[in-house]
Structure 1
C-alpha cells in the first residue's frame, strides 16, 4: 500500500463513517489493513490535522517504525556465503550457526541474517530455474530468420515468416511458415499448432507484437480477435513483459535452435510457395523433435508423449472461424452502420448507440456493449445496403411491405374482385411501382370507409365496365352503383336523345327472297332497323 493510499485511508477513517470493508474496496486494499490503521489511530489518538502536518517520511516512520541498526553487529561476507549456498545440501541455518559462533554477541539473529542475504541477492543478476508443469504453458514467437520464396502473383521474391511454438514442460516444438505476421496468419498458425499438439494447453505466452497485444504495458490489452480465439479454445493469453525476454525463455531458445536446424538450411533453397516451405519443414521438424537430449534421457517427442500429451485438454468441437474486429461507430438515424463501404442494419432502438463489427469470411456480426445484436451475410458491394425486416420500426416495416404481393394478400381477405382490381393497378409494371402502391393505399382507405361487401361489389362493377381506376371505384361507391347490374348501369348512365341511334341501328337485316338481284345491282341499300336520324 503506497503512502498516498495510506494517507487517504487515514483521512477516510477520521473524516467519514465508512466501514473498513468499504474503505478497502475504494482503495483496493484488504479490510484488515484498514482495520490495523484504525487501531493505530485509536492508539496514538490522532486527528486529521496531525496527519496533515506530517510529511511522507515522518508518516512512514509512525506507521512502519524505523528500526535502529546496531553498529556493533558484524555483517557476514555475502559473496562468500552466496557461493557456499550454491553447493548441494548446503543450508542457511548451518552457515548462520558458523557465523554466530565466530562473532558471538556481534552476530545478527537468524531472521536478520536471512533479511540481509535476500537484499544481497537482489543485487545479483542471476536467473532462477522455472518449474514447468505438464500441459500448462506453450511459448510462441516468430523467428528473426525468414525463408525466401518466389511469389507468382507479384512476380517477385518474398520472405516467409517462421512461427515457433514450444511446450514449456517437454520442449516439444512446432514450426509453421506463413506469408506474413498479420493477424489472420498469426491465428492460423495457432490453430495449426493446437492440431499438431493434439490438444489445448492452459496458457499461451506470446510476445508483444501487434497481432497479439493491442496495448502493451503493465495491464496489456489483448487483440480482440486473438482473445476470441482464446475464448473459443478455452485457454488464457499471458503476454511476456516488455523487454523481459526471460518471461518467454523457452521461445527464445526454441527460435535459436529452429533457426540453426531448419531456417538456415531451408534459406539456401528457393521455394515456389509458402505451402512448399511447410512441406519441407515437416521432415526437418520431426527429426528435430526426435533428436536426443544431451543432458537428459529421451527426446522432445518422448517427453511430450509421456508428460504433456496425456494432460492436454481436448480440441474444440468446431473449428475457430477467424473474424476481424473494427472500431466502434455510432448508429445513424437510418439504423445502419457501414462496414467496408457496405451498410448493414441493426435494431432501430440502437440509433445513436455505439456498435462494433466483427467480419469473417462469410458473415458480419454487430455488437453493442459486448452483446451481438445483428448478424448478416457478408456483402462486399460498396454503396449497397443489407436490411433485415425485423430491424425496422412498425411504420417503416409497413411502408417497406407495400408491394403487389402484400396488397394482393390483403385484397384476398375481401374477395377475388378486390384482388383483381389491385392486380390491375400493377398490370405491366413492377411489383413496387409507386403510382400503383398509392392507388392501392387509396383502396385501403375506401375499405375503412365502406364495408367489405360493398367494396367487393364496387370492384367487380369497375372491372365489368373496364375502368379499374380508383376514381371510378370512388364514383361507384358514392353513387351507390355497386348495388345495380352492369346493364342497368350502362342504360341509366346514357340519357335518352333523338340523335342516339341505339344498338338496333347496327343490326343488318338479311335480304328477302323477293328482293331481286337487279335491285341490289342498282345500288339500293339494305333496310335498317329504322331510318337515320
Structure 2
C-alpha cells in the first residue's frame, strides 16, 4: 500500500509541474461537443445529388466551437446521424430477390473514339445495367442513345446475365419513357420499348422520381462504371467501337470479380452464382 501511495504522490507532482508549464487549460478533457445540425444533414442527404457524409462532416467541422467544446470525429458523426435516421424512420432496407429486377440507365459521362486518319473524335454513350440482388454489372458503348441502341443494350445485358429479369427499371431515361403530363411528375413506358420487352416476357416500370431509393442500385452502378471504366480508360485512345467495348468488357469483369464486396470475401460474380 505504501508503494501505491508513493506512486500516486509522484503522479500528482507530475501533474502539478504540467499545470505550471501550461496555464491555458489544455490538459482538461472536454466532455462537451459542438452540436450537429441533424436536420440540415438529413435534408442534404435526401434527393438525387446528395453529398457524401464525409463532405457533410467537413462542413460540420467549420461550425465554431465555444469554450472547451470539441467536434465529433468522423466515425462518431456517422453513428449519430444513422441513429437519428433510424429513430425518425426515414429509411428502410429494400429486399431484393435473385432474378427479379434489373436496373438500367445511360451513364452521364461519355467516352470517345478517334478516327485514325483524320483524328476526329466521336462521343460514345455508355449503357449500364445492374442486378440489385447480386450487384452484378454490365456496361456497353453506343454512338447514340436512340431506341435501337437501347434495346440492343438490353439484349446484351440479358445475355451477360444468362437470363431475363422479371422487371426492368429504367431510371426515367427518355429512351424508355415519356412524360404523361406536363403537370404531373409521372412517366409511361414507350410503346416500342414495351413491345420489345414483351418479346422477352418481361416489362419495364420507370422508377418514381420522389422515391430515389428505388433506383439506388443503378446509380451506384453508373458511378462505378464512370470511375473504374470511363475515367480509368480516359488516357487510352480507341479507334473503333470494338476496341472500346473490348476494353470496357475487361473492366466490367474486373469489377464483377473484385473482392471483398458488401463486407464479405466474395465478389459480385459469386453473389450472382449463389442467387
TM-score > 0.5 by shorter chain: yes
| Alignment-derived partner of residue 262 in structure 1 | 229
What's the counterpart of residue 522 of structure 1?
Answer: none
2:96 corresponds in structure 1 to 132
CA distance in 1, matches of 2:179, 2:144: 21
Q: How many residues are treated as equivalent by the alignment? A: 189
Map of 1:273 onto structure 2:
240
Q: Secondary structure at the match of 1:296?
A: coil
Structure 1 residues not aligned, in runs of 5+: 1-78, 80-119, 308-533
1:209: Cα distance to partner? Answer: 1.9
The yes-or-no answer on 1:242 pairing with 2:206 is: no
State how far apart, in whole Å, the 1-side matches of 2:143 and 2:165 are.
26
Q: Which has the higher contact order (CA 8 A, sep 6+)?
A: 2
Is the CA contact 1:215–1:222 (under 8 Å) kept in the aligned structure 2? no
Query: Which residue number corresponds to residue 151 of structure 2?
Result: 187
Gaps of 5+ in 2: 1-37, 39-83
Cα distance, 1:187 vs. partner? 0.8
Match of 2:272 in 1: 304
Query: Which of the pair has more CA radius of gyration?
Result: 1
TM-score (norm 1): 0.33
Distance 2:273 2:86 in 1: 38
List aligned pairs for 1:320-335, cutoff 5 A.
none
Residues 123, 184 of structure 1: CA spacing in aligned structure 2 closer, same or farther, 3 A cutoff? farther
Distance 2:178 2:114 in 1: 32
Deviation at 1:297, TM superposition (A): 3.3
Counterparts of 1:279 and 1:213, CA distance in 2: 30
State the TM-score, normalized to the length of structure 2: 0.63
**Post-superposition CA distance 1:286-319 (Å, at most 9, x none):** 1110001151231100111110xxxxxxxxxxxx
State how far apart, in whole Å, the 1-side matches of 2:196 and 2:118 are. Answer: 31
Query: How far 1:243 sits from its partner (Å)?
Result: 5.4
Cα distance in 1 for residues equivalent to 2:109 and 2:185: 29
Counterpart in 1 of 2:122? 158
Offset from partner CA, 1:424-445 (integer Å, 9 cap, x none): xxxxxxxxxxxxxxxxxxxxxx
Please name the residue that 1:209 is paired with: 173
RMSD, matched Cα:
2.6
- Do structure 1's residue 172 and structure 2's residue 172 form an aligned pair? no
Q: Following superposition of structure 1 onto structure 2, how do residues 398-417 of structure 1 map, counting pairs within 5 Å? A: none
User: What is the CA-CA distance between 1:215 and the residue it aligns to?
Assistant: 2.0
Q: Is the 8 A contact 2:188 2:206 kept in 1?
A: no
The equivalences for 1:383-394 within 5 A come to none
